[in-house]
């Protein structure tokens, strides 16, 4: 499929039925798979032969959807996970262990920040958070002997910081470690991080990929570009024998598939954060229209942002696709066709006015979600970050008056009319 354009890949990649087989991807709603020889089953367990035996490890529906996402990103191997959180957790823990360290851009989704700042720290992996606008020298200084990866988000949720791929990729590669990028907000329709030097891409498929707020899910994609064997001392898990599989060496046996095979064979086997085949089926239907929905989300977001910019009660608006935004130049460089449908804004009346305005909205709903077909808002200071006082909010990069507005694909005039009545 890789020679087709992105629109065709959204529809066709990952599943090609044979003669007389179902036209659309079936749901293989089965925990297990039958074999006629016990010896063959044994070879599957030893990774000597590839095949399905238990859905915690692999399932045909999930594999077809992972293959589609892999093709959309231009990677060589991919896997689905039960959530975006699981994808980011696995992406790091597949190459880092107790005593290791990672470097992250500090503008991150709140759940990812908690995961990296607290949860993996308890497992012995420390993270250093760097200002995404740091100089190359400051970034360089964040690396240690035991650094194993660099991590960032293409467009940070909710800070809307656009990731400087050139700066972060050259630092990562200079230090012999991969760049891992969470591409949830941009989606491969607007940005393909592998084209800008990223080595691994992760997704919360819960957002635009599913696109309908129907199922939580995640994905990890490997570009196949990072040479683990060239940095064998840093990545022993990939380059030395795995005793749980009779001493196979992932890089030797699986080549460019080493990273995803290890994440499946070890992490998924032991931690078990699989996506259900039912959810993968729904995700696949969402992916078929990704290339139609993303441009509409972006177009509506620009219209809503322009409306808000001109409103007397609005103090500020952030939309990286609009000239004047702090990240406009980076957005033009890496995502000239559009960024995402999420914008943020603040009202002159501050935090209280934000809460009052949101309560008056009729079409646009207050929900803890972003990036689905329906327009929605969230006030982080009252919701996701409500334990923090104003000072702590500002330190976390969330202004107390910030409203996160996920612009849907309804008619833009209806969306703007709802803002209008709520603001008046």
Ligand X SMILES: *Cc1c(COP(=O)(O)O)cnc(C)c1O
Q: How far is the CB of 303 from ligand X (least distance, A)?
A: 23
Identify whether the C-beta of residue 80 lies closer than 8 Å to the C-beta of residue 284: no
Tell me whether residue 68 or residue 207 sits nearer to ligand X (CB atom): 207
Taking CB under 6 A as the rule, does residue 111 contact ligand X? Answer: yes
Taking CB under 6 A as the rule, does residue 112 contact ligand X? Answer: yes
The binder of ligand X chosen from 72, 149, 216, 317 (CB under 6 A): 216
Tell me whether residue 59 or residue 184 sits nearer to ligand X (CB atom): 184
Pair of tokens at residue 106: 């500090």
Q: How far is the CB of 207 from ligand X (least distance, A)?
A: 6
Distances (CA, A) of 78 to 13, 74, 208, 352, 423: 13, 10, 18, 45, 45
Integer Cα distance of 182 and 87 in angstroms:
9
Taking CB under 6 A as the rule, does residue 83 contact ligand X? Answer: yes
Integer Cα distance of 62 and 208 in angstroms:
18
Tell me whether residue 181 or residue 409 sits nearer to ligand X (CB atom): 181
Sign of CA dihedral 243, 244, 245, 249: negative
Q: How far is the CB of 72 from ligand X (least distance, A)?
A: 17
Tell me whether residue 112 or residue 266 sits nearer to ligand X (CB atom): 112
Candidates 221, 185, 291, 239; CA nearest to 81 is 221
Taking CB under 6 A as the rule, does residue 222 contact ligand X? Answer: no
Candidates 279, 296, 81, 273; CA nearest to 187 is 296
Q: β-strand 218-222 against 365-366: which pairing, if any? A: unpaired
The binder of ligand X chosen from 207, 297, 379, 385 (CB under 6 A): 207
Decide: residue 122, CB within 10 A, 0-12 exposed, 13-18 middle, 19+ buried: exposed
Q: How far is the CB of 336 from ligand X (least distance, A)?
A: 21
Q: How many residues does the chain have?
A: 424
- Which helix (H) or strand (E) segment holds residue 258: the answer is helix 258-262
Binding mask 127-156 for ligand X (x = CB under 6 A): --------------------------x---
What is the size of the binding site for ligand X (CB under 6 A)?
Answer: 16
The binder of ligand X chosen from 157, 275, 344, 399 (CB under 6 A): 157
Taking CB under 6 A as the rule, does residue 182 contact ligand X? Answer: yes
Candidates 417, 412, 410, 405; CA nearest to 319 is 405
Taking CB under 6 A as the rule, does residue 109 contact ligand X? Answer: yes
The binder of ligand X chosen from 218, 338, 380, 408 (CB under 6 A): 218
Distances (CA, A) of 158 to 80, 269, 379, 399: 24, 33, 11, 11
Q: β-strand 77-81 against 218-222: which pairing, if any? A: antiparallel
Select the residue whose beta carbon is closest to ligand X and give its number: 84
Q: β-strand 200-204 against 179-182: which pairing, if any? A: parallel
Tell me whether residue 84 or residue 397 sits nearer to ligand X (CB atom): 84
Taking CB under 6 A as the rule, does residue 206 contact ligand X? Answer: yes
Q: How far is the CB of 320 from ligand X (least distance, A)?
A: 15
Q: How far is the CB of 137 from ligand X (least distance, A)?
A: 28
Tell me whether residue 61 or residue 204 sits nearer to ligand X (CB atom): 204
- Which helix (H) or strand (E) segment holds residue 366: the answer is strand 365-366
Q: Which residues bind ligand X (CB under 6 A)?
A: 83-85, 109, 111-112, 153, 157, 182, 184-185, 204, 206-207, 216, 218
């Amino acid at each position: 499929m890789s020679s087709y354009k992105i629109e065709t890949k959204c529809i066709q990649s990952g599943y090609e039925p044979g003669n007389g087989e179902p036209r659309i991807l079936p749901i293989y709603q089965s925990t297990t798979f039958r074999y006629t020889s016990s010896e063959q089953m044994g070879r599957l367990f030893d990774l000597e032969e590839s095949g399905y035996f238990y859905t915690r490890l692999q399932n045909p529906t999930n594999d077809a959807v992972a293959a589609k996402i892999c093709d959309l990103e231009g990677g060589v191997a991919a896997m689905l996970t039960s959530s975006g959180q699981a994808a980011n957790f696995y992406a790091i823990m597949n190459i880092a262990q107790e005593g290791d360290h990672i470097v992250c851009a500090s503008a991150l989704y709140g759940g990812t920040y908690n995961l990296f700042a607290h949860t993996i720290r308890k497992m012995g992996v420390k993270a250093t958070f760097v200002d995404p606008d740091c100089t190359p020298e400051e970034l360089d200084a964040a690396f240690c002997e035991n650094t194993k990866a660099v991590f960032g988000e293409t467009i940070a949720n909710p800070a809307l910081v656009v990731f400087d791929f050139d700066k972060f990729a050259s630092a990562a590669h200079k230090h012999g470690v991969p760049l891992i990028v969470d591409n949830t907000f941009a989606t491969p329709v607007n940005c393909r991080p592998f084209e800008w030097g990223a080595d691994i891409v992760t997704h919360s498929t819960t957002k635009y990929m599913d696109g309908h707020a129907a199922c939580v899910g995640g994905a990890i994609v490997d570009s196949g570009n990072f040479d683990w064997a060239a940095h064998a001392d840093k990545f022993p898990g990939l380059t030395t024998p795995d005793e749980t599989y009779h001493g196979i060496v992932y890089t030797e046996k699986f080549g460019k598939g080493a990273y995803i095979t290890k994440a499946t064979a070890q992490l998924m086997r032991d931690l078990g954060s699989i996506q259900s085949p039912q959810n993968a089926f729904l995700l696949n239907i969402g992916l078929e229209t990704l290339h139609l929905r993303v441009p509409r989300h972006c177009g509506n977001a620009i219209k809503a942002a322009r409306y808000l910019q001109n409103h007397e009660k609005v103090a500020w608006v952030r939309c990286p696709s609009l000239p004047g935004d702090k990240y406009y130049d980076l957005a033009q460089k890496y995502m000239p066709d559009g960024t995402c449908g999420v914008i943020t804004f603040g009202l002159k009346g501050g935090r209280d006015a934000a809460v009052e305005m949101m309560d008056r909205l009729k079409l646009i709903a207050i929900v803890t979600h972003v990036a689905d077909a329906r327009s929605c808002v969230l006030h982080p200071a009252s919701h996701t970050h409500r334990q923090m006082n104003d000072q702590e909010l500002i330190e976390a990069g969330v202004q107390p008056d910030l409203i996160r507005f996920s612009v849907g694909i309804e008619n833009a005039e209806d969306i703007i009319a709802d803002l209008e009545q709520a603001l008046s």
